[in-house]
Amino acid sequence: MAFEFAWNAQKNQMSDVKGKEREQEREGKIKNERIDPTRTHLNYDFVKSNVGLYERTKERRDELKKEGSRVQKNSVVLYSNIITIPKEEADKMTDKEHEKYFKSCYEYFCDRYGKENVMSAKVHLDETTPHMHLHFMPVNKENGKLQARTVMGPRALREIHDQLPRYLQQRGFDVLRASGEKTMEKLNIHEYKAREDMKQEVEVLKKQVGDLDLEYSITRAEIRTRKMIASEEVGKAKKESDEQIVSVRKQADRKIAMIQEEVSKFEYDINRHREHLILDTDDVKTQLESTKRDLDHYGNQLQERIDSLKELNFDERIDLNLKPNFMKKVTMASETFEELKKRAESAEKMQRALRASEKENKSLKESNQSKDKELNELLGLRIENRKLQREVEFFKQVIEKIKVFMATLVQHKYRLSPNQMEQVVGYAKFQAKDRLGRNQDVDLQNESEKKGFDKAKGDFEEQRKELRKDSLDMGR
Instruction: Please tell me what DSSP assigns to residue 67.
Output: T
Q: Could you list the beta-strand ranges (E) of 72-111.
A: 78-84
Is this prediction's pTM over 0.85? no
Cα torsion 178, 179, 181, 186: sign? positive
Neighbours of 397 (CB within 10 A): 19
Residue 130's contacts (CB-CB under 8 Å, 6 or more residues apart) are 84, 85, 87, 90, 98, 102, 123, 124
Q: Give the Cα separation of 37 and 130 in Å (integer).
A: 15
Distance CA 390, CA 367 (A): 35
Q: Report the alpha-carbon distance of residue 461 to residue 467 in Å, rounded.
A: 10
In order of 104, 280, 406, 444, the CA distances from 430 in angstroms are: 71, 66, 17, 10
Cβ atoms within 10 Å of 286's Cβ, excluding its own: 11
Rounded CA-CA distance 345/294 in Å is 13
Nearest Cα residue to 74 out of 149, 173, 7, 153: 149
- CA-based nearest residue to 403, from 200, 205, 176, 234: 234
The tens-digit pLDDT sequence of the chain (476 residues) is 688 899 989 999 999 999 999 988 888 777 777 788 888 898 999 999 899 999 999 999 999 999 988 888 889 999 999 999 998 898 999 999 999 999 999 999 999 999 999 999 999 998 888 999 999 999 998 899 999 998 999 999 999 999 999 999 999 999 998 765 544 333 454 555 556 566 666 666 777 777 787 887 888 888 888 888 888 888 887 888 788 888 878 887 887 888 777 777 767 776 776 677 677 667 767 776 777 787 677 677 767 766 665 554 434 444 445 444 444 444 556 677 777 778 778 778 878 887 887 888 788 888 778 877 877 887 888 887 777 777 777 777 778 777 777 777 667 766 778 888 888 888 888 888 777 765 656 788 899 888 888 988 898 888 888 878 777 777 65
Gap between the Cα atoms of 103 and 193, Å rounded: 20
With contact defined as beta carbons under 8 Å apart, do 180 and 161 qualify? yes
Those residues whose C-beta lies under 8 Å from the C-beta of residue 280, and which sit 6 or more positions away, are 353, 354, 357
